[in-house]
Every structure is written in C-alpha cells, then in structure tokens.
Amino acid sequence: MSGTRISATLVIDENRAIACAACGYALGPAGGPWKDAARLDERPMQGAGGAPYSNAERVLLRRFLCPGCGALLDTECALAGDPFLTDIVKV
C-alpha cells in the first residue's frame, strides 16, 4: 500500500484517508479519529502478562483490527467503558 506512512500499520492514502498499510482499507479522513471504524477485540488483562496482572480483572486489552484484512493496527489498555484513546495525526 502506498501513501504517507503515519505509523507501522497506518498510512494516509491518495484520497487523504487514514488507511491500513497492509491492504489499503480506509478507516476515516486524515486528521480525524479512526478507531471507531476498526474492528474491536476486548479481553481482560487478568493473567495476560503473568503475576503483575493477576488482580487486573477490570483492566481490558483493546486490539484494533483492520476490517478489510484483519491486520493488528493498534492496542491500548483501558477500564471497561472508557473512551478510546484518540490518536489524531495531522500531515
């Protein structure tokens, strides 16, 4: 996928959209949030990282996946119900 790379997994394409670097799936306009357009997978962190997360039943690992090809685009940790961390890149 060609375009201006803004992260290891995202590009700004020729239509000025944020897109998956692997397949070109457009996730939203450049300069705006894109995570709402991604496929979301949330799982409890409890036990995910060994002993440090043994009491983390309220902490979630959020994985944002490309709806087009399934590539992992980003991750974040959050409490249930917290809004997504907004990553806005201006190019």
Gap between the Cα atoms of 3 and 61, Å rounded: 29
pLDDT of residue 73: 97
Domain range for residue 49?
4-79
Gap between the Cα atoms of 15 and 2, Å rounded: 11
**89 in a structural domain:** no
pLDDT of residue 47: 62
Q: Indicate the pTM of the whole model.
A: 0.86
**65 in a structural domain:** yes
**68 in a structural domain:** yes
φ/ψ of residue 5, rounded to 5: -70, 130
Q: Write the single-letter amino acid at 85.
A: L
**43 in a structural domain:** yes
Express each pLDDT in 13-70 by its tens digit.
Answer: 999 999 999 999 999 999 899 999 999 999 887 666 666 665 667 788 899 999 999 9
**How many CA atoms lie less than 13 Å away from 62 in the CB half-sphere?**
18
**28 in a structural domain:** yes
| Structural domain total, the chain | 1
